[in-house]
């Protein structure tokens, strides 16, 4: 860091014009290359979550202090207007015991008291009893025939499950992994210490695979639902998949994709990040509205069907503003228009500005922003130039190509200006990736993508994940219809 700053200081020192004219061309060229390199390194050093796609966890510890972020002045805790959480009493039918306490003597005169209180104060005490698994042992005897001498072994009755572990055990192992993101060893410890069920790591993996198989049809149905939705948010992040099963012999980088709708979310893990993976995620005949960032794998969707994420654009504009010279002026102008746009959007969201008035107010903002992009795009730069201005020019030229995709949310209700829904959905997957270091096989990746699909979808519908998993495993074992992840649809429908 100190070495870079020193070199930067040396090369930023102004050289007298007469001396500069005497400088050989080769030296001038070398100095310009060094200046560009220094600016590039400084830009990397100043990278934060505010001007790049880096997560906030990678920001320097003093990043907020440098930006001079002011304290809100609000007290810690719930703010005025926040809905208060009040304890809800369980119904009397769910109480194991109801004990009535009546005073015997008057607290004032000491007389004996009689009668009933129609509205007594209810105090409930909740406790969890020691958890013991229900173990049923079936003994299959073998008897020898006295006539022919042949031995015959009894068979399990048809209504007895041949598996060693019940559906709820399988569902619980899957939920501990998929909802609470525990590693296999943590699942093993939890099952033993909390539920007194001793499982080997191999058995845990078998139970996870059984749960994954039970979810196959439900997840496939969710994928079809998402591909036919009117508005879909998409995002992707890196993922690690090993080669234990030989399915990743090239040791390729895996990628976790997500497609989000308000009530159903679908995850998919692939060994590629190219256009074909995005088409498989959304469907090659996708005709809805795609909300995403500017990643090139989505470019097969026409601009008329896309809404680019303004959160990503804001970070791009901030990065441009932090550069020197003309880039700073361009970035400042772009951020000014972005602030005006979102000031209006917040009014639309709060109901204080009508959609029609919003559309009229956006027209001059769109014109100014497009003019600024065009002004930057008109700069002449070399094809191999790597100066900050060259980067700014290339970014603005790329934005001009997809400029219609910046404004779809202005005219269509239900389309958000940011892709925050997809980024929020993918965040638990990132945490799982960090704690588990990815998967070791294709089957492991399949379990991850199916559990993420189930957990995220059910949470958005406020449905119980453990009960759904229990029903899914039970249905698979009994060859019955798989319960559905789609809203308002059950296996009986």
Kindly report, residue by residue over 242-284, the tens digit of the pLDDT: 999 999 999 999 999 999 999 999 999 999 999 999 999 999 9
Q: Show me where the domains of the chain are located.
A: 170-302+425-493, 310-418
Task: Quote the pTM value.
Answer: 0.82
Q: How many whole angstroms separate alpha carbon 209 and alpha carbon 291?
A: 33
pLDDT digits (tens, 9 = 90+) for 427-468: 998 888 888 888 999 999 999 999 999 999 999 999 999 999
**So what's the pLDDT on residue 387?**
81
- Token pair of 51 as six digits: 């001007």
Phi/psi for 75 (5° steps) reads -75, 155
SS (H, E, C) 139-184: CCCEEECCCCCCEEECCCCCCCCCCCCCHHHHHHHHHHHHCCCCCH
- pLDDT of 410 over the 90 cut: yes
Q: How many whole angstroms separate alpha carbon 471 and alpha carbon 214?
A: 9
- Token pair of 460 as six digits: 């958005």
Strand 265-270 and strand 289-292: the pairing is: unpaired
pLDDT digits (tens, 9 = 90+) for 81-111: 777 767 789 998 999 999 999 999 999 998 9
First to last CA, the chain: 65
Core vs surface per residue 370-408: b (16+ CB within 10 A) or e: bebbeebbeeeeeeeeebbbbbbbebbbebeeeeebbbb
């Amino acid at each position: 860091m100190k070495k870079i700053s020193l070199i930067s200081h040396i090369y930023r020192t102004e050289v007298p014009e007469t001396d500069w004219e005497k400088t050989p061309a080769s030296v001038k060229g070398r100095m310009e290359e060094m200046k560009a390199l220094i600016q590039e390194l400084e830009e990397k050093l100043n990278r934060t979550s505010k001007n790049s796609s880096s997560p906030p966890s990678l920001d320097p510890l003093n990043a907020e202090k440098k930006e001079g972020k002011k304290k809100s002045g609000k007290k810690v805790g719930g703010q005025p207007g926040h809905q208060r959480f009040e304890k809800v009493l369980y119904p009397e039918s769910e109480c194991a015991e109801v004990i009535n306490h009546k005073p015997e003597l008057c607290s004032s005169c000491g007389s004996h008291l009689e009668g009933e209180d129609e509205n007594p104060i209810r105090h409930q005490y909740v406790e969890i009893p020691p958890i013991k698994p229900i173990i049923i042992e079936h003994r299959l005897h073998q008897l020898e025939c006295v006539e022919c001498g042949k031995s015959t072994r009894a068979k399990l009755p048809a209504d007895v499950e041949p598996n060693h572990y019940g559906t709820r055990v399988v569902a619980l192992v899957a939920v501990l992994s998929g909802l609470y993101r525990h590693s296999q060893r943590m699942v093993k410890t939890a099952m033993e210490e909390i539920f007194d069920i001793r499982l080997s790591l191999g058995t845990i993996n078998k139970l996870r695979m059984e749960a994954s198989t039970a979810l196959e049809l439900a997840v496939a149905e969710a994928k079809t639902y998402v591909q036919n939705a009117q508005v879909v948010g998409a995002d992707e992040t890196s993922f690690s998949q090993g080669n234990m099963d030989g399915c990743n012999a090239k040791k390729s980088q895996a990628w976790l994709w997500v497609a989000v709708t308000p009530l159903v979310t679908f995850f998919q893990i692939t060994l590629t990040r190219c256009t074909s993976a995005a088409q498989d995620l959304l469907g090659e005949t996708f005709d809805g509205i795609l909300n995403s960032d500017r990643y090139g794998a989505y470019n097969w969707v026409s601009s008329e069907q896309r809404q680019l994420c303004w959160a990503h654009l804001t970070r791009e504009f901030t990065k441009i503003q932090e550069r020197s010279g003309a880039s700073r002026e361009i970035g400042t102008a772009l951020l000014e228009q972005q602030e005006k746009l979102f000031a209006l959007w917040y009014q639309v969201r709060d109901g204080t500005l009508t959609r029609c008035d919003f559309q009229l107010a956006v027209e001059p903002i769109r014109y100014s922003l497009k003019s600024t992009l065009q002004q930057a795009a008109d700069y002449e730069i070399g094809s191999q130039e790597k100066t900050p201005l060259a980067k700014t020019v290339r970014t603005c030229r790329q934005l001009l190509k997809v400029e219609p995709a910046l404004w779809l949310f202005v005219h269509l209700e239900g389309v958000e200006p940011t892709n925050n829904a997809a980024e929020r959905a993918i965040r638990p997957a990132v945490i799982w990736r960090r704690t588990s270091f990815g998967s070791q096989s294709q089957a492991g990746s399949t379990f991850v993508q199916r559990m993420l699909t189930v957990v995220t979808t059910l949470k958005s519908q406020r449905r119980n994940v453990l009960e759904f998993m229990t029903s899914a495993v039970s249905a698979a074992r009994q060859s019955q219809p798989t319960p559905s992840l789609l809203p308002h649809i059950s296996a009986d429908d």
